[in-house]
Amino acid sequence: MTIGLELVLLCALYVGVALMVIYLVIGSRLPLMLRAGLVLLVSISFFASWLLWRDVAGWPARAELPDNFLFHAATVVEPDPEKSQLGSIYVWATELTDEGPVGMPRAYRVNYLKSTHSQLQEAEARMRNGIPQVGKRKRGAEGNLAIAGVMKRQEDDQQFDLGNLPSPALPEK
């Protein structure tokens, strides 16, 4: 989902809640069970709005990493066997197209891999030296994006390569 669509859905949920509450408060003559059902529906809509708000509030996107992206930063949470935590890598990136960056940077969560961790450390060192970094999602053996599951994307299975941003091609004179 895009941020605009999420905001529209959130607004629609809150308008729906407000209309239901007004209808109940103005003394409807609905049966008690129907009123209880409406109250339950209002409660569910608040939970749904909280779930939608997560993607807008700066939490890592539940979306796939873009195929090509401009790398901004990363935070690594290493695995902790004592706490049964697998570890995570949070990548801040902006989607890249042929025309340039698209939209604002987003945070994405990927599974911790030692190779990805060392790759990120090298990329951040190059960034400190003033060399912008770009990423490209890895493709599987058959040319498909390397993701697990047939129908469901697993955010933990995203892998990518980072490299230097190529110099812009100057137009011919």
Q: Where are the domains of the chain?
A: 3-56, 68-164
List the structure tokens of 83.
Answer: 């706490």
Rg (CA), the chain: 22
List the structure tokens of 20.
Answer: 């239901």
Identify the helix (H) or strand (E) that includes residue 107: strand 100-111
Q: What's the average model confidence in pLDDT over 53-69?
A: 76
Reported as a single tens digit per residue, the pLDDT across 113-163 is 898 899 999 999 999 999 999 999 886 544 444 444 433 444 446 788 888
Average pLDDT, the chain: 79
C-alpha count within 13 angstroms, C-beta hemisphere, residue 93: 31
Q: Please tell me the pTM assigned to this model.
A: 0.61
In the structure, what pLDDT confidence band is assigned to residue 3 with cuts at 50, 70 and 90?
low
In the structure, what pLDDT confidence band is assigned to residue 165 with cuts at 50, 70 and 90?
confident
CB 148 within 8 A of CB 154: yes
Reported as a single tens digit per residue, the pLDDT across 104-118 is 888 888 888 898 899
- The predicted pLDDT at position 141 comes to 46
Give strand pairing partners of 137: 160
Q: What is the dihedral of CA 49, 55, 59, 64, to 10 degrees?
A: 140
